[in-house]
Amino acid sequence: MKRIAILGSTGSIGRSTLQIVEAYPQRFGVVSLAAGKNVDVVFEQAQRWKPALVSVRDEQQAQALRVKLSAAGLGHIEVAHGPEGNVRVATHANADFVVSAIVGVAGLEATFEAVRAGKTVGLANKESLVVAGELITAEAKRQRKPLLPIDSEHNAVHQCMRGGRLEEVERIWLTASGGPFLNTPLSEFSKITVEQALNHPTWKMGQRITVDSATLMNKGFEVIEACRLFGLPPSQVKVIVHPQSTIHSMVEFRDGSLLAQLSVTDMRLPILYALTYPDRIESDLRFPVEELRRLDFCAPDMERFPCLRLAYEAAEAGGSKTIALNAADEVAVAAFLEGRISFQEIPRVIAAVVRETAGQHPESIRNVLLVDTEAREAACDKIKTLSRSQSSSPRSARVS
């Protein structure tokens, strides 16, 4: 039986992981759960899975959860909270496998500590690799433990990589759905509204990642993740637009063969793969091959999607530049969603912040977080400047 710790148990990946545990009761058990402020849901999860340890966001929620657990005769379940609670969940002595699915830099420290404690980690937390990928992959190497990607693209790459050795890889091809503006002419980009940007054609996701998909910054982050996960330079990680998202990614080998991974778009599939690797077990997540009809592809347009270019540049520099890229993007997307900057200003804010961030390679998670904070402040400043110049001379984008 594989005993699992879940960082982010009430989120989408956390809940999918628990569905898998439910489907294979002989194979998987739950050791510890870290959630946010959703006490009701985490209480239900604790009741159902009887973990040894649960962590929530703060002391107040921890107390509320303790009361509920006691009333349910589950007073023996330990309750922790905050960043320290997350770390305790991630490093629990009985955990064999840690699912890292807390969104944002909040999941960073716990993920790093899980790796440092010699756990096998399934990574759904994007920031772990974008922001601290160099530290985390170096630590995983030291521990001789695999980092198993839990997202459709990198999981696909991981599967295709089995067809050869790393040094036989010519290029990785990440597929991109292309987002809602795949076919929008550049001349109309200045008029893109928040509603349009949030209208993703194939995936229902959180607001930030939906906008990141519309700017292709999300694909840019995935390029950085791929570089870190597989130890390849950005020049060997390519993006190809594939609107159906049936091929989740491809690996091109130096002999000229490509391997591609196809499956349904269901996150349980990469989670199951990570949990059972190197085995594959029976699932009902079947792709209807008989119904396969048409797959389309095109090259990404770097002119219309400058965020992708910015991500490549940051990936080349590494270290603080990728931290700044992520921080500035988060702040710029929030400002766009609040109507404070236009869609086209998102890459401008990011470019300015990344440019101004001094190139360095932080050697601890603490230093990573310092660079992150500085970049967020720089992005806020940049946005204020833009907003001021905007209020004095309104742009056509706002007027129309």
Residues that bind its own copies (CB under 8 A): 159-160, 162-165, 168, 171, 173, 238, 240, 247, 250, 252-264, 269, 272-273, 276, 279-287, 289-290, 292-299
Torsion over CA of 150, 154, 159 and 163, rounded to 10 degrees?
-160
To its own copies, the closest distance from the beta carbon of 260 in angstroms equals 5
Closest distance between its own copies and the C-beta of residue 249, in Å?
A: 11
Min dist CB 120 to its own copies, Å, is: 18
**Which bin fits 2, alpha (ψ -120 to 50), beta or left (φ > 0)?**
beta
DSSP-derived 3-state class of residue 28: strand
Rounded to whole angstroms, how far apart are CA atoms 287 and 231? Answer: 30
| DSSP class per residue in 250-274 | EEEETTS-EEEEE--S-THHHHHHH
Nearer to its own copies, 169 or 217 (CB): 169
Separation CA 396–CA 189 (nearest Å): 11
Minimum CB distance to its own copies smaller for 283 or for 367: 283
Rg of the chain on CA atoms, in Å: 21
In the complex, least distance from residue 180 CB atom to its own copies, rounded to whole angstroms: 21
For its own copies, which is the closer residue by CB, 112 or 173? Answer: 173
With both helix axes pointing from N to C terminus, report the angle between 39-49 and 59-71 in degrees, rounded to the nearest 10. 40
Instruction: Please state the closest distance from residue 317 (CB atom) to its own copies, in A.
Output: 25
CB of 307 to its own copies, least distance (A): 20
Please, which residue, 165 or 204, has the CB nearer to its own copies? Answer: 165
Give the single-character DSSP code of 290. G
What is the token pair recorded at 361?
A: 């390679």
Tell me if 79 sits within 8 A of 56, measured CB to CB. Answer: yes
Q: Give the span between the Cα atoms of 297 and 399, in whole angstroms.
A: 35
Question: What span, in angstroms and rounded, lies between the C-alpha atoms of 46 and 378?
Answer: 41
Q: Residue 310: in which H helix or E strand, if any?
A: helix 306-317
Smallest gap, in angstroms, from Cβ of residue 157 to its own copies?
A: 12
Residue number with CB closer to its own copies (177 or 342): 177
Quick one: 193 or 297, whose CB is closer to its own copies? 297
DSSP string, 340-388: SS-TTHHHHHHHHHHHHSPP----SHHHHHHHHHHHHHHHHHHHHHHHH
CB of 170 to its own copies, least distance (A): 8
State the Cα–Cα distance between residues 358 and 371, nearest whole angstrom.
9
- Distance (Å, whole) CA 285 – CA 269: 7
Q: Which residue type, as a one-letter code, is found at position 344?
A: Q
| C-beta closer to its own copies: residue 163 or 359 | 163
Beta carbon nearer to its own copies, 22 or 377: 22
Shorter beta-carbon distance to its own copies: residue 157 or 328: 157
Closer of 138 and 292 to its own copies (Cβ): 292
Query: Which residue shows structure tokens 């129309």?
Result: 400
The structure tokens 């400058």 sit at: 306
Q: How far is the CB of 292 from its own copies (least distance, A)?
A: 4
Q: What's the min distance (Å) between Cβ of 229 and its own copies?
A: 17
Q: Which of 290, 274, 283, 10 is nearest to 151 (CA)?
A: 274
Name the residue type at position 399.
V
End-to-end CA distance of the chain: 60
